Amino acid sequence: MSDETNHNVRDPTTPPAATPAGEQPGNPARRKFIREAAVVGVAGAAGLALAACGKQEAGKVAGSAATSAAATTASAAKGLPEDYVPPGQLDEYFGIWSGGQSGEIRLLGLPSMRELMRVPVFNPDFTIGWGVTNESKRILGPNFPPGGDCHHPHMTQTDGHYDGRYVFINDKAHTRVARIRCDVWRCDRIVDVPNVQAIHGLRVQRAPRTGYVFANGEDQVPSPNDGRDLDDPKKYQTMFSAIDGDTMNVAWQVIVDGNLDNTEADYAGKYAASTCYNSEGGVTLAEMMQAERDWVVVFNIARIEEAVKKGDFKTIGSSKVPVVDGRHGSPLTMYIPIPKNPHGINASPDGKYVVANGKLSPTVSIIEWAKIDDWFDGKFKDPRDAVVAEPEVGLGPLHTAYDGRGNAYTTLFIDSQIVKWNIADAIAAHGGKKVNYLRQKLDVAYQPGHNHSSMGETRDADGKWLVSLNKFSKDRFLPTGPLHPDNDQLIDISGDTMKLVADGPVYAEPHDAVLVHKRFLMDKIKKVWDVNDPFFAETVALAKSQGVNVRSDNKVIRQGKKVFVYMTSAAPVFGLTDFKVKKGDEVTVTVTNIDPIEDVTHGFCITNYGINFEISPGATASATFTADKPGVYWYYCTFFCHALHMEMKGRMLVEA
């Protein structure tokens, strides 16, 4: 990053200013390198040398640390890092990571930070055949735009507790929202959100259950966006959308003033609240930074539903989604002025407060949900009075997490720190009491965006772990060319002071993640596919209509120029050793894995034909293509499934 464009960003090798409470860790030790007491001194010193570009020193230390790690792996837990999970043992938490620009979701285990699985969502993926199989294409839709830009993964809740049904995530790049099933960890629905552009903030309704999935349209556009009002920004607008998480239909939309960034829901199921950084309605950076205050916009769900029920809405263009007017002055919304270009917004797990993070202001604004009740009930007039404290926390506050013990942890992008502060003390200080609400500032490496605490967005916030999702890694890892990995750092927050435990390099850019205790998921996750699973039910039904039982039949059916090839897979053989088609045929190959054994996955690849997909135990998968090249084309199994895996193959014979 150049100094011209980011003059506010402190050189990360320079220690930050002294902090008000707790010990200042300075350049945090690389806990991963410190595997036993004997090397602590050496590794610590060389760790600092690495930060100061001592490349050779760093190489030496990495070597000795690796040796020491191997030596201690089998030893007792004493002296091992807190994130150490011995071989064969399971992690305590699932980390559900946004895959950012990759368009996928990633599953991690915590505290080890081991990556467990990638779940393609908006992106083509040739491991699973996402974007190749007919089953995935039905979900991706006919216009499958390659890729997505994922920011905010959130799991369904019931009464403020995770319920392990679905995870939802936004695609800012193509204005979509996807749903991922938690039982098989596969995307099963994607909805295009009409009338808006760029879905950014996404959260789920917490009570009584999800319910609605709330999604912010970020950028303002003409309405309808069909070529009119091209350069007349005064006529641009955006909307807040509520998607029915059960049907994946857009239930309603609310026109707002300004734009919308992140969003959050309360714990009572009554409100959603979004930050707006562009109350100015500007189209340039300078214009968007003019006002000293922007807004938190609160949406009154009951009133919006009432308006829709009464028919007090319009529709736009070809969309049938009811659109209500929630602009400034509407009884459906509340505009709370807060400083300045706010970004993240996070509800505290006690259900009482929601905190908006100031970004260009060194403050966070604490808003009390009960005061929002009072304002909508007409008990006071000035929406500012819902702000019960506005503590100064540091430079560039972006997102806040909670430990369930009354403390909040806010990322400071510009300061490259996490600041721990106490909510009750901040409110007391706002009321004039002499009390220091700041608890500690911890350096992170570097420039954090979101952070997330274990169970911290639910009533079950347990205050054990915090991850800081840092946008820059600079000198922390072996070089990978001009594109660096992000650095997701693990922090122990179980004690009075935060302790940095591990660095986690990740492929760009997991804006956000949630940490879900495994007790909410273990009994919900399937080990083999149900043969009647809806994911491939349409494929199985098509076969049935042709008189084919996919679990036992191996046959080729010709219908004019269309050829349907059905085969089973059971290690180490496909049900057909060859099949014959004619050049120009439209060929659909359907493969069913009849191995009932956990973890025996097969793949099906037709060489030089662009067909490759995975079939896990119990699954049926299919792909359709045109046999446009005559000749012999071997198909083979791509997942190592058996000692005779290499022999698991057959021939597609394409007649000229």
Which of ligand CUK, ligand CUA, Ca ion, none interacts with 262 (beta carbon under 5 to 8 A by kind)?
Answer: ligand CUK
Residue 639: name its binding partner from Ca ion, ligand CUK, ligand CUA, none (Cβ under 5 to 8 Å by kind). ligand CUA
Contacting residue, 104, 135, 294, 512, with Ca ion by CB under 5 A: 294
Query: Toward ligand CUK, which CB reaches closer, 61 or 272?
Result: 272
8-state DSSP, 124: -
Q: Which of 101, 195, 238, 341 binds Ca ion (CB under 5 A)?
A: 341
d(CA 443, CA 180): 34
Count of other CB atoms within 10 angstroms of residue 464: 21
Hey, which residues between 499 and 538 contact ligand CUK (CB under 6 A)?
A: 511-512
Please, are residues 274 and 283 in contact by the beta-carbon 8 Å criterion?
Answer: no
CB atoms within 10 A of CB 151: 22
- Closer by beta carbon to ligand CUK, 200 or else 270: 200
> Integer distance in angstroms from the first to the last C-alpha of the chain?
57
From the number of C-beta atoms within 10 Å of its C-beta (0-12, 13-18, 19+), residue 351 rates as middle
259 binds ligand CUK (CB under 6 A): no
Listed ranges 56-64, 317-325, 443-451, 634-642: which one lies at the site for ligand CUA (CB under 6 A): 634-642
CA angle 292, 294, 295 (to 5 degrees): 150
CB 407 within 8 A of CB 422: yes
- 452 lies in the site for ligand CUK, by CB under 6 A: no
Q: Please, which residues have CB within 8 angstroms of residue 349's CB and are 6 or more apart in sequence?
A: 160, 267, 402, 404, 456, 457, 458, 459, 460, 461
**For every residue of 315-380, which 3-state class applies, written as one string?**
CCCCCCCCEEECCCCCCCEEEEEEECCCCCEEECCCCCEEEEECCCCCEEEEEEHHHHHHHHCCCC
Binding pattern for the stretch 559-588 against ligand CUA, x by CB under 6 A and - elsewhere: ------------xx----------------
The neighbour count for residue 294, using CB atoms within 10 Å, is: 30
What are the tokens at 505? 């390099």
Output 58 or 265, the one with its CB closest to ligand CUK.
265
Smallest distance, ligand CUK to C-beta of residue 95, A = 16
Is the peptide bond prior to 233 cis by the omega test (within 30 degrees of 0)? no
The Cα 483–Cα 476 span in angstroms is 13
* DSSP β-ladder status, 249-256 and 323-325: parallel
Euclidean distance between CA atoms 645 and 50, whole angstroms:
45
Comparing CA positions, the residue from 564, 579, 557 lying closest to residue 620 is 564
Question: Which listed option, Ca ion, ligand CUA, ligand CUK, none, makes contact with residue 409 (CB within 5 to 8 Å by class)?
Answer: none
CB closer to ligand CUA out of 413 and 639: 639
Report, in Å, the least distance between residue 299 CB and Ca ion. Answer: 20
Given 152, 154, 209, 476, the residue binding ligand CUK (CB under 6 A): 152
259 touches Ca ion (CB under 5 A): no
List Cβ neighbours of 269 (8 Å cut-off, separation of 6 or more). 205, 206, 207, 208, 211, 301
Q: Within 132-151, which residues bind ligand CUK (CB under 6 A)?
A: 151
Shortest distance, CB of residue 621 to ligand CUA, whole angstroms? 13
**Options 146-154, 281-289, 299-307, 642-650: segment touching ligand CUA (CB under 6 A):** 642-650
Site size toward ligand CUK, by CB under 6 A: 12
Among 60, 551, 645, 651, binds ligand CUA (CB under 6 A): 645
- Choose one: 296-304, 312-320, 454-462, 638-646; the region binding ligand CUA (CB under 6 A): 638-646
Residue 358 or 618 having the CB closest to ligand CUA: 618
x/- map, 186-205, ligand CUK, by CB under 6 A: --------------x-----
Residues of span 326-355 touching ligand CUK by CB under 6 A = 343-344
Interatomic CA distance for residues 511 and 64, integer angstroms: 34
Based on CB atoms, which residue is closest to ligand CUK, 170 or 601?
A: 170
- By CB under 6 A, name the binding residues for ligand CUK: 151-152, 200, 262, 343-344, 398-399, 449-450, 511-512
- By CB under 6 A, name the binding residues for ligand CUA: 571-572, 602, 637, 639-642, 645, 648
- By CB under 5 A, name the binding residues for Ca ion: 277, 288, 294, 341
